[in-house]
Amino acid sequence: MLSKKAQYAFRALTALVEEDMPRLQSLEGQSPHDPAVPVPLNLLVQKHPMSVKFLETIFLELRKAGILGSKKGKGGGYYLMRHPEDVPLAQVMRVLDGPIAQLPCVSLNFYEKCEGCNEQQCGLHRIMSDVRDAQLGVLENRSLWDLARAGR
């Protein structure tokens, strides 16, 4: 299951992209993406009611992971470091919830060997690898842009 953290994050990030939508549309595939106007948390929270304090810790993690940038002080806030099209959901999920795979021994980014199990001949390992590939097939190919653009 997605944690509440990830769920809140996706709502807030959607709102963040929507906030920046006019400027983003005028760019139309131009890169590099020059940093957007910072949006303060309390603005995002107005659109999707949630604890500002909690969202603060969430966005802090995303900033440390290089997905968000921030500006302090009056007129400050958060902004995306890349064009939303270049931020796959998988990346956000890994930052907030850790591994996407269902088992450590099939994780690409958080691999851990499981003791007492030869991966070559472990049925569970093979099947869960297939599940991981299936999940990543979606999550690596859907971006924050897809997320925000959905209802329109």
Which parts of this chain interact with its own copies (CB under 8 A)? Answer: 1-2, 7, 10-11, 14, 49, 89, 99, 101-103, 116, 118, 120-124, 126-128, 130-131, 134-135, 137-139, 142, 146-152
Q: Residue 94 binds which one of its own copies, DNA, none, with CB within 5 to 8 A depending on kind?
A: none
Which is closer to its own copies, CB of 35 or CB of 104? 104
Q: How far is 147 from 10, CA to CA, in rounded Å?
A: 8
Q: Residue 34 binds which one of its own copies, DNA, none, with CB within 5 to 8 A depending on kind?
A: none
Q: Residue 79 binds which one of DNA, its own copies, none, with CB within 5 to 8 A depending on kind?
A: none
Strand partners, 70: 78
Q: Residue 14 binds which one of DNA, its own copies, none, with CB within 5 to 8 A depending on kind?
A: its own copies
On whether the CB atoms of residues 44 and 12 are closer than 8 A, the answer is yes
Least separation, in Å, of the C-beta of 105 and its own copies? 10
Q: How far is 117 from 84, CA to CA, in rounded Å?
A: 40
Least separation, in Å, of the C-beta of 29 and DNA? 28
On whether the CB atoms of residues 86 and 143 are closer than 8 A, the answer is yes
Structure-block tokens of residue 118: 């030869």
On whether the CB atoms of residues 117 and 103 are closer than 8 A, the answer is no
Task: Locate the DSSP E strands across 1-152.
Answer: 68-71, 77-80
Binding site for DNA (CB under 7 A): 3-5, 40-42, 51, 53-54, 56-57, 59-60, 63-64, 70-78, 97
